[in-house]
Structure 1
């Protein structure tokens, strides 16, 4: 049974692949189908634990299809689990378009599970830098060359800061450009969060956005302007808002509205509390650029919604609304 041209494997077929590969690799980013799709239905229970351990070593996304009698050990080993075949074709197509990014994503999510946050951010950054030097991002960059001159000039500082007693209000302030995480926004946000870290009399900080949306994510017109991937990793090591936020996250809340894309949800997911307007929608689109979430999302989202739902969001590039985000625990409350 399958969906379109996507082959779906039961446990018997997986067992054959495991033995045929001598416990090695059954699929790779260089294959026609750079993923494994597993339907572990009843009657296929033998050696399930051994198969689950083998699936965790595969250098490709492992997609589980849940159903009555599915083996829990095998489904837990999968990188993402779908309740039906409805979205399988679209996710498989995304993986085929960017198999290296898809592989890197699931590997990062696997290896950083349970890792201290600061160390996990280093792993994410190294993986992101690797993909910045890869063919998938290069192809996207050729079709979308850097255009930093196209960023509309706006008055005032990129981040507005106001203090009232023990509370600090931080607002992203590039509404004409939809509050992208540009270089100037990144640096200003780092400084604002460093203030929270340094001043323990600030009992609570609230981050929100001015204008039509909270944040449209990374400033795409600046993508590809780093001199080289190694230098880009060095800059993230020095100026990553997430690395500062994790040091004061228990005192920081975010309020989201309308578009919260890429960094626009990756960073808030670290905070102790997230509220969202009913019109908020959240998305991880990086697979379309041949990249993975690089603003901390491979670390922050699993803390809230788990590894499998994070992989689902990243590989599907699907938008979810505030109600779904609340149901999953990605936001804590919807407010009008």
Structure 2
């Protein structure tokens, strides 16, 4: 896959997506959002890829926000369409991807950048990372799911404070809030994420995809418990379930076929 604003690499069963606009602090423009959709679509269909790491190029930013120059003069209708299309093709798409996506936050994750990280299944940050949703300082609100995912992750009160003050927080506060799962040095960030990805890849990819779907259902206008029951039952019809239970009974390591 060749892109203008992304770098795609592979390490065994791990696919890595790097947003590569360092001169713009990896800000999200229309082209980059389209490329992200295409990249994640291709990685989801690649049977060799079990887990995906998403990060930014350079040492300053994961994604410092959206490219404001592209929408500064938009009308109400254009603004609404911008949010709807972005959520559908990238942010919601990543959240509902069948394969786990780990955000490796290597610097500033602001506005659309934090929204992108929150759309991933979990987050690991380097010590220099800073996070926030500064949209109200521009006279607008988060439009790529920030008003929904941030309260889900850190609670309503903390989320409203961050949104209304347009403040940045450091990694210590992000960790204490539950916004990130782990904090490591910038030098260790990708290696740490790869170790997590390897642990995930050793398990049933089919079961993991069902788990993602069931967990997400609990945060939507649906019955998460019913979704869990349905997904649990579906697992019994998979080759991965047969292999996993057989391996357990035979006291050996499972070799999941991913079906």
User: Which range, TM-score by smaller chain?
Assistant: 0.5 to 0.7
Contact 1:249 1:272 in 2 (8 A): no
Alpha-carbon deviation of 1:225?
Answer: 4.3
CA distance in 2, matches of 1:238, 1:289: 21
Partner of 1:196: 43
CA distance in 1, matches of 2:117, 2:173: 16
Partner of 1:167: 14
Partner of 1:325: 174
Contact 1:246 1:270 in 2 (8 A): yes
- Asked if residue 300 in structure 1 is aligned to residue 149 in structure 2, the reply is yes
Partner of 2:52: 205
Residues 1-80 of structure 1: matches in 2 within 5 Å? none
CA distance in 2, matches of 1:288, 1:238: 23
CA distance in 2, matches of 1:179, 1:256: 12
Alpha-carbon deviation of 1:324?
Answer: 0.4
Alpha-carbon deviation of 1:236?
Answer: 3.8
Contact 1:249 1:270 in 2 (8 A): no
The 3-state SS of whatever aligns with 2:160 is helix
Partner of 1:218: 66
CA 1:237–1:317: 2 relative to 1, 3 Å:
closer
Contact 1:267 1:300 in 2 (8 A): no
Contact 2:105 2:125 in 1 (8 A): yes
Residues 90-101 of structure 1: matches in 2 within 5 Å? none
CA distance in 2, matches of 1:225, 1:254: 31
Alpha-carbon deviation of 1:196?
Answer: 3.4
CA 1:286–1:247: 2 relative to 1, 3 Å:
same
Alpha-carbon deviation of 1:201?
Answer: 4.4
- Asked if residue 282 in structure 1 is aligned to residue 131 in structure 2, the reply is yes
Aligned residues: 180
CA distance in 2, matches of 1:162, 1:221: 30
Alpha-carbon deviation of 1:180?
Answer: 0.4
Which whole-Å deviations, capped at 9, do the CAs of 1:3-48 have from their partners, x for residues lacking one?
xxxxxxxxxxxxxxxxxxxxxxxxxxxxxxxxxxxxxxxxxxxxxx
Contact 2:95 2:121 in 1 (8 A): no
Q: Structure 1 regions of 5+ residues with no counterpart?
A: 1-155
Q: Structure 2 regions of 5+ residues with no counterpart?
A: 186-259
Higher normalized helix content (fraction of residues): 2
The 3-state SS of whatever aligns with 1:267 is helix
CA distance in 1, matches of 2:157, 2:98: 23
CA 1:171–1:248: 2 relative to 1, 3 Å:
same
Which whole-Å deviations, capped at 9, do the CAs of 1:174-203 have from their partners, x for residues lacking one?
001110011122111121222234345421
Partner of 2:33: 186
TM-score by length of 2: 0.64
What root-mean-square deviation, in Å, do the aligned CA atoms of Structure 1 and Structure 2 show? Answer: 1.9
Alpha-carbon deviation of 1:266?
Answer: 1.2
Which whole-Å deviations, capped at 9, do the CAs of 1:215-265 have from their partners, x for residues lacking one?
110112223244x33244334433431021121176100111221111111
Contact 1:209 1:256 in 2 (8 A): yes
Match of 1:260 among 109, 116, 125: 109
Alpha-carbon deviation of 1:320?
Answer: 0.5
CA distance in 2, matches of 1:297, 1:196: 25
CA distance in 2, matches of 1:249, 1:269: 16
Alpha-carbon deviation of 1:272?
Answer: 2.1
The 3-state SS of whatever aligns with 1:168 is strand
TM-score by length of 1: 0.50
CA 1:236–1:303: 2 relative to 1, 3 Å:
same
